[in-house]
């Protein structure tokens, strides 16, 4: 039997979704509800699923999660099922017909109506700010979302269809949230957006990212700021000066490039050429010596023949990206590519190319990590498991980048420690506390 007054929240997809779940947790707790995030066994009077609808695998995971909850509901192990997020934003009408066991559907932006629909059990007249949240990450680290949406309309991407146009949060609101997070013990802020490069252009028709990060860096207690999901076209070059000027702005940039061949970039509608991409990478590395760049690439997009793929391989070999992810192209409903381009490359060819690309990157990652052997790195300790401590350098984002493993369980999560790197593998480092 489900537990009265308990609300379970299951968060799927990206860190941007996670922030919405964290805000929901805060608001529900403030109304007097017992909340649980990602429970092993859902038992709530309400179970909220925050869905992802970006790619096929994520959609499948979201639908399977809802169907599993429907079975629990039949057994009365849970009460009502509430669905929100990207998948329901995009396919709500179809899903309502296919999964009638769901009690209420919300999209990505109207989920606050769920909070408003519930009786207030708190007995308090005060309410949290809209940006306040209950962190589900380690208490020393948090994601910070500075905008929603995207105006780029790349041929393959459904994000603008789901999230709408790019909308920046006000600078002062973000700074207020930053101060509150630091006051609660957060040391590391991972700044995220669908399109970091465009931040502020909708507020005052100019790039505000450099100004925002400069002000964040000057807040006492902010130890690390890390930047995620920049767009290469119309890149705010002044952010590199801020990065070079402030030690607490990590020498790290996550910038998705997708491809390097001009015909493919044109088909993708990426608004940048091979020449422009190479020039941008050169300037980034020149202005911020030692910067680590994470990128994302795609194989098998329409127009990628063997020549274009070899061009991509050479690009990866020559650039030697510190961090790289890649995926095989999969057609997304209602996108420009789905409507106008012929997806005629067989799936097995896409996968073969992906495997070859990632094999090369693994060799590069190992070589770059081996160069760190003997160096002393400032490491933020994330957790202790058994006899080992796990942490990250400023060059490593949570969950997606390498960890540093230290055989010292006496270290404390949330502390910074100087660690000498003793061993290196493609996707992890081994170290010991430096004397």
| Beta pairing class for 3-11 and 388-392 | unpaired
Give residue 277's pLDDT: 98
pLDDT tens column, 48-106: 999 998 778 888 899 999 999 999 999 999 999 999 999 999 999 999 999 999 999 99
Mean pLDDT of the chain: 96
Give residue 323's pLDDT: 97
What's the CA angle centered on 306, arms 305 and 307, to 5 degrees? 90
Tokens standing for 267? 């088909």
- Tokens 């948090």 found at: 142
- Residues whose CB falls within 8 Å of the CB of residue 77, separated by 6 or more in sequence, listed in order: 1, 2, 41, 42, 43
Q: What is the per-residue DSSP string for 88-145?
A: HHHHHHHHHHH-TT-SEE--SS-THHHHHHS---S--S----TT-----S-TTEEEEE
Taking the C-alpha atoms of residue 10 and residue 190, their distance in angstroms, rounded to an integer, is 22
> For residues 263 and 306, is the Cβ–Cβ distance under 8 A?
no
**Mean pLDDT, to the nearest integer, of 361-377?**
98
pTM summary value: 0.94
Which helix (H) or strand (E) element contains residue 401? none
- Residues whose CB falls within 8 Å of the CB of residue 184, separated by 6 or more in sequence, listed in order: 135, 139
pLDDT tens column, 113-156: 999 999 998 888 788 999 999 999 999 999 999 999 999 999 99
- Assess whether pLDDT exceeds 80 at residue 239: yes
- Assess whether pLDDT exceeds 80 at residue 220: yes
% pLDDT > 90, the chain: 92
Among 185, 184, 3, 162, smallest CA distance to 77 is for: 3
The alpha-helical segments, DSSP class H, found in 31-83 are: 56-74
Cα 173 to chain centroid, rounded? 21
- Assess whether pLDDT exceeds 80 at residue 435: no
pLDDT tens column, 287-301: 999 999 999 999 999
Give residue 13's pLDDT: 87
What's the CA angle centered on 419, arms 418 and 420, to 5 degrees? 125
Among 313, 307, 388, smallest CA distance to 355 is for: 313
Give residue 58's pLDDT: 83
- Assess whether pLDDT exceeds 90 at residue 389: yes
Give residue 127's pLDDT: 86
Partners of 344 in the beta sheet? Answer: none
Give residue 55's pLDDT: 76
């Amino acid at each position: 039997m489900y537990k009265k007054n308990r609300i379970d929240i299951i968060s799927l997809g990206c860190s941007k979704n996670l922030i919405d779940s964290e805000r929901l947790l805060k608001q529900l707790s403030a109304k007097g509800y017992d909340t649980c995030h990602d429970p092993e066994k859902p038992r709530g009077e309400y179970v909220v699923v925050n869905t992802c609808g970006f790619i096929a695998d994520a959609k499948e995971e979201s639908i399977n999660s809802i169907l599993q909850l429907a079975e629990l509901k039949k057994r009365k192990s849970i009460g009502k099922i509430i669905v929100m997020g990207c998948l329901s934003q995009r396919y709500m009408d179809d899903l309502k017909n296919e999964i009638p066991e769901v009690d209420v559907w919300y999209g990505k932006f109207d989920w606050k109506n769920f909070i408003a629909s519930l009786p207030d059990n708190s007995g308090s007249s005060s309410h949290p700010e809209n940006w306040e949240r209950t962190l589900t990450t380690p208490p020393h680290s948090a994601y910070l979302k500075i905008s929603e949406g995207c105006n780029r309309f790349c041929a393959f991407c459904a994000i603008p269809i789901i999230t709408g146009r790019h909308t920046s949060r006000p600078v002062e609101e973000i700074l207020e949230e930053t101060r509150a997070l630091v006051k609660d013990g957060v040391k590391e802020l991972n700044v995220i957006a669908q399109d970091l490069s465009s931040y502020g252009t909708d507020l005052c028709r100019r790039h505000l990212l450099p100004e925002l990060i400069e002000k964040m860096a000057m807040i006492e207690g902010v130890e690390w700021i890390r930047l995620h999901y920049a767009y290469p076209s119309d890149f705010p070059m002044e952010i590199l000066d801020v990065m070079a000027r402030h030690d607490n702005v990590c020498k790290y940039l996550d910038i998705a490039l997708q491809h390097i061949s001009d015909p493919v970039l044109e088909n993708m509608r990426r608004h940048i050429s091979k020449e422009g991409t190479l020039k941008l990478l050169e300037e980034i590395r020149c202005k911020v010596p030692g910067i680590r760049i994470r990128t994302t690439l795609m194989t098998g997009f329409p127009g990628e023949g063997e020549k274009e793929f070899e061009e991509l391989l050479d690009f990866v070999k020559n650039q030697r990206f510190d961090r790289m992810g890649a995926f095989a192209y999969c057609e997304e409903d209602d996108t420009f590519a789905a409507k106008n381009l012929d997806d005629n490359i067989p799936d097995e060819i896409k996968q073969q190319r992906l495997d070859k690309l990632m094999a090369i990157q693994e060799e590069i990652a190992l070589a770059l990590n081996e160069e760190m052997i003997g160096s002393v790195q400032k490491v933020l300790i994330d957790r202790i498991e058994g006899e080992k401590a796990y942490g990250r350098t400023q060059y490593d984002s949570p969950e997606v980048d390498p960890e540093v493993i230290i055989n010292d369980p006496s270290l404390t999560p949330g502390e910074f420690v100087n660690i000498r790197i003793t061993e290196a593998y493609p996707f992890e480092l081994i170290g010991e506390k430096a004397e």
